Amino acid sequence: MESLSQFYAVYGSLINFIGINAILALSLYVTLSAGQLSLGNAAFAGIGAYASGILTMRFNMPYPVSIAAGAGLSAITALVIGMPVLRMRGIFLAMATLAFGEVVRIAAVNMDITGGAQGLVGIPNKTTTYIIYGVLAATTYFLSILRGSKIGWSLASIREDETAAMVMGINTSYYKTLAFVLGAFIAGIAGAIYAHLNFIVTPGEFGFYAAVQLLIYNIVGGRQSVYGPILGAFILTALPEVLRGAGVTAGSLRLGVNGLILLLVILYLPNGLIFIFNRKVGGNAGRSGGEVQSEV
């Protein structure tokens, strides 16, 4: 027990950030499950973080209420912008949601209630490791159940061929909006619990880099399994610490290693690293690329 306590004392922050990044990766996984390339989930996390932090600091709201309110505001915002934005596809949707993220960032910089460019400072530290991984476990379980439901099959049908899904009578607009809102809700929860872990929330934490990182987690881990984004977040969040322990201290070199991993996965494991584990247990043996059974 003493050695475990020492390990947590050294790596506790890393363990917490792995859990939060995994939740954020799952938020994008939901949107990708409907074939929608959205880069706005980091912004939704920012909305959840700021909203929950303000409610706790300025209005003395209880921690659970602040978390729920932050996630709810993210979901409502996604519903409002999702109706017009989800008419776009592919790169146009990605650019539109990325632009939304920049709007959120600039608004946070210029508003007094958010603390401006310095951010929201002094948020009470109420998030624990148990809460983070409890939320991660609940989110993973929920998405696993969702995968085999009518909603899950509808999202998979839209991802594979939206036109065919419409012919089959699936309300594609409804399900795409549902996935977008659900992803925003999960991102809002992650942002809210992060705000109460890190004491401070700044606009730059939820910008372009964070949005792209969520996509990389899904690509590296695997977009066709609910466990893939978790694996990607675990590897890429822990990798800098592993490299630092191996004597690699240059930040540019660590980024180069990240880029190399992403390149190798795209070239040789297009379904992500989770495909290796699936193949070992026989779940996807003998399948390649687009032949792997789609999961939501």
How far apart (Å, rounded) are the C-alpha atoms in residues 242 and 258? 12
Strands annotated E in 8-148:
120-121
Q: Is the pLDDT of residue 152 over 50?
A: yes
Question: If 0-12 CB within 10 Å is exposed, 13-18 middle and 19+ buried, where does residue 200 land?
Answer: middle
Spans of all domains in the chain: 14-215
Helix-then-strand count for the chain, H and E? 12, 2
| Cβ–Cβ < 8 Å for 195, 49 | yes
pLDDT of residue 292: 38
Tokens of 142: 């929920």
The lowest-confidence range among 109-118, 120-129, 276-285 is 276-285
Q: Which of 220, 216, 209 lies closest to 46, judged by CA?
A: 209
- Model-level pTM? 0.90
**Burial tier of 287 (Cβ tally within 10 Å: 0-12, 13-18, 19+):** middle
Residues 6+ apart with CB under 8 A from 194: 20, 45, 49, 127, 201
- Number of CB atoms found within 10 A of residue 57's CB: 17
Predicted confidence (pLDDT) per residue in 248-268, tens digit: 655 566 677 778 888 888 888
As a whole number of angstroms, the distance between CA 40 and CA 101 comes to 6
Q: What average pLDDT does this structure show over 206-214?
A: 90
Burial class (CB in 10 A: 0-12, 13-18, 19+), 240: middle
Q: Tell me what pLDDT residue 133 has.
A: 97
Of 85-94, 124-133, 277-286, where does the model show the most confidence? 124-133
Cα separation, 70 vs 64, whole angstroms: 10
Helices (H), 86-207: 90-110, 129-147, 150-160, 162-167, 172-198
Asked if residue 197 lies in contact with residue 125, where contact means CB atoms within 8 angstroms, the answer is yes
The tens digit of pLDDT for each residue in 16-68 reads 999 999 999 999 999 999 999 899 999 999 999 999 999 999 999 999 999 99
